[in-house]
Amino acid sequence: MKSNTDTIAAISTAMGLSGISIVRISGEEAFAIAEKMYRGIGGKTFTQLRNKQLSYGHIVDVRTGNMIDEVLVSKHGAPYSYTGEDIAEINCHGGPVATQAVLQAALESGARMAEGGEFTKRAFLNGRIDLVQAEAVMDIIDAKTRASLQAAQNRLKGHLSEEIGEVKEYLTDALAYIGVGIEYPEYDVEEAQDEVVYALLAKAEEKLQRLQKNASRGKILNEGLKIAIAGKPNAGKSMLLNALTNRERAIVTDIAGTTRDTISEYINIGQIPVLIIDTAGIRQTQDMIEKIGVARSIAAIEEADIVLFVADGSAKWDKQDDEIRALLKEKRTIDIINKSDIEIDKSVADKLSGEDTVILSALTKEGLGALEEKIVQAAGFTEDVLGAALSANARQEELLTKAAASLQAAMDNLKAGMVVDLAEIDIRNSLEYLYQLTGQSVGEDIIDRIFTNFCLGK
């Protein structure tokens, strides 16, 4: 286990050819280390520099004194820095050789190579941000759309933590009320106590439910929505994929069974990141390759959040359509009649006569906008939800669910007329999950696991 107090250094920009790169040094010795490597113009030393100001100078090889690179440096004194510790930041020329040489100079001057996410981990350990905010930093770097970015920014600003803070307060208050009953049995708080505790729990529950709802949407913003296109051969699935992705991604022919393998592509639909998957047309077949393709289609459908069922508007509805729809019974499905540019067969129109059916032409793209709107709706997003999305990641969502379950148990017990002290343990559990969420109570192993997913230098 690496120490959390020694001074660390890393390259914080992406490796490769670039205009500039940034080497960051954080810890108690950061300024002393920078002092050894830096020669300011006009003989100024690093120590003499003003806080949070860019200064021009050179980095030298600490053994030979030879110049390594021309740089701009800045110092950020604790606690007002990213990590909460002293930070020296060096802007050197981009390019792997110059950048590595500057990092090397820092390591030779006494810094240790930072691990992935270690700067952000220190910000957390120093209490500058909580765990939800630390995870938001990673989501900002990973953001796939503007909405994902906005949601992560909200979390970094502490909005989600604040909301969780309110739930914690209700629960803590409830525990305090129960405490009164336990410690001062001579006071006659019994009667009112039940009601007060229950009311507090109900408030906590309402808030938690809202957070949970947002959390599931947030997961979509972070991880993307999986959409599979399913239907019988020649329905126009691949042409629909091409229309949605705006490029000739999949081969389209009039031969039934053209697509053999699943083909996937990332797109954005109304600010939602979507992984869209074209599948092989599902049918009974003797062809070895097509058989494997059909099996893969079925697996892709199982994994998908939403399935687009494509019916061929130019052909008669048949048994294959029925079989595929039976397969989709448990899935969130959007029905589509394709090929609206030619006359739609009555058998298809009759089968898919619901209001929710989208009629479109993958060829002319007519009706594509309506499909995209349906997808956004089906994913549970509207414009204002997108703006306010207090998203959460999978870890956070799981803890919210656990907290809600414990809270529910406490409320059920109270409702069933159990003595109020018995609800106490469940309330404590619920609170504990929320502490784990924000990181007030979380094991070293979990912290390490969270931060190792970060990129180096962040």
Ligand X SMILES: Nc1nc2c(ncn2[C@@H]2O[C@H](COP(=O)(O)OP(=O)(O)OP(=O)(O)O)[C@@H](O)[C@H]2O)c(=O)[nH]1
Q: Which residues bind ligand X (CB under 6 A)?
A: 231, 233-239, 252-254, 256-259, 280-281, 338-339, 341-342, 361-363
Yes or no: say if 39 and 66 are a contact pair by the CB < 8 Å rule.
no
CB-wise, 148 or 259, nearer to Mg ion?
Answer: 259
CB-wise, 35 or 341, nearer to ligand X?
Answer: 341
d(CA 445, CA 358): 49
Residues in the chain: 458
Report the nearest approach of ligand X to the CB of residue 297 (Å): 9
Structure tokens at 201: 């729990």
From 258, 262, 347, 429, residue interacting with Mg ion (rule: CB under 5 A): 258
* Residue 293 site contact among ligand X, Mg ion, none (CB < 5 to 8 Å, cut-off depends on kind): none
CB-wise, 74 or 242, nearer to Mg ion?
Answer: 242
Q: If we measure between CA atoms, which residue out of 379, 359, 355, 367 comes closest to residue 270? A: 379
- Where does this chain touch Mg ion (CB under 5 A) — which range of 10-18, 68-76, 259-267, 368-376? 259-267
CB-wise, 339 or 374, nearer to ligand X?
Answer: 339
From 81, 91, 109, 259, residue interacting with Mg ion (rule: CB under 5 A): 259
Report the nearest approach of ligand X to the CB of residue 282 (Å): 8
CB-wise, 174 or 276, nearer to ligand X?
Answer: 276
CB-wise, 75 or 237, nearer to Mg ion?
Answer: 237
Report the nearest approach of ligand X to the CB of residue 371 (Å): 12
By CB under 5 A, tell whether 245 contacts Mg ion. Answer: no
Report the nearest approach of ligand X to the CB of residue 4 (Å): 55
d(CA 355, CA 363): 23
Burial of 453 (0-12, 13-18, 19+ CB in 10 A): exposed
Report the nearest approach of Mg ion to the CB of residue 232 (Å): 11
d(CA 380, CA 205): 21
By CB under 5 A, tell whether 161 contacts Mg ion. Answer: no
Cα-based torsion angle of the residue sequence 412, 415, 419, 420 in order, rounded to the nearest 10 degrees: 70
Strand order in the sheet with 67-76: 38-40, 55-60, 67-76, 87-93, 20-26, 8-11, 112-113
From 238, 361, 413, 438, residue interacting with Mg ion (rule: CB under 5 A): 238
CB-wise, 39 or 291, nearer to Mg ion?
Answer: 291
Residue with tokens 């110059």: 98
Report the nearest approach of Mg ion to the CB of residue 361 (Å): 16
Report the nearest approach of ligand X to the CB of residue 290 (Å): 9
Yes or no: say if 390 and 214 are a contact pair by the CB < 8 Å rule.
yes
* Residue 253 site contact among Mg ion, ligand X, none (CB < 5 to 8 Å, cut-off depends on kind): ligand X
CB-wise, 91 or 279, nearer to Mg ion?
Answer: 279
Report the nearest approach of ligand X to the CB of residue 364 (Å): 7
- Where does this chain touch Mg ion (CB under 5 A) — which range of 26-34, 36-44, 236-244, 411-419? 236-244
Dihedral sign for Cα 140, 211, 402, 434, please. Answer: positive
By CB under 5 A, tell whether 338 contacts Mg ion. Answer: no
Yes or no: say if 171 and 410 are a contact pair by the CB < 8 Å rule.
no
- Where does this chain touch Mg ion (CB under 5 A) — which range of 22-30, 234-242, 287-295, 431-439? 234-242
Q: Which residue is nearest to ligand X (CB)?
A: 281
CB-wise, 278 or 305, nearer to ligand X?
Answer: 278
Report the nearest approach of Mg ion to the CB of residue 236 (Å): 8
| Buried/exposed 159-179: b ≥16 CB within 10 Å, e otherwise | bbbebbeebbebbebbbebbe
* Residue 239 site contact among Mg ion, ligand X, none (CB < 5 to 8 Å, cut-off depends on kind): ligand X
* Residues at the interface with Mg ion (CB under 5 A): 237-238, 258-259
